[in-house]
Structure 1
Amino acid sequence: MPIYDIRIKQLFERSKTDQPFWTALAATLRVDNGAFHDQLVHLRDQAAIGEDIGVLRVFDVVAWMHQGRQGQVARS
């Protein structure tokens, strides 16, 4: 399961208590015949990290790193 911390919540502008996030993520992975899922698989392949790393972990790392580039995370 991907990390769901304050950085991810800020990146996706989600509330502190957010159950719909998982439903939205699952739907996003299936929409357009799994296009986003396929993108994550492609990124995993480019990184040469192996198929034992799931696409949710790839999403987690990419999102977390992207948010880290946005600057300091506000504390709340």
Structure 2
Amino acid sequence: MDVLAIMEALAEQGITVLLKADAERMAEQRKPWTFVASGAPLRDDILVRTDAASVEQCLEACLPRLRELGISLPG
């Protein structure tokens, strides 16, 4: 999965993307990764967000939702 290509594709469509690793949650062995997507193309100020154990899990949770909202993604 090409995370950079996904983030670039979202940004090109006007979506702001945040991918975060939280050191505190990682040390506590909680879901350290956060993915947040927001912006004008998402209707009604929808925020697509998840916390997960890995980047891949974040994307597996959020990309289908973004596609449902009509956002074009690579792959």
Does the pair score TM above 0.5? Answer: no
Higher normalized contact order (CA 8 Å, seq sep 6+, divided by chain length) = 1
Structure with the higher helix share, 1 or 2: 1
Structure with the higher strand share, 1 or 2: 2
Query: How high is the TM-score relative to the length of structure 2?
Result: 0.38
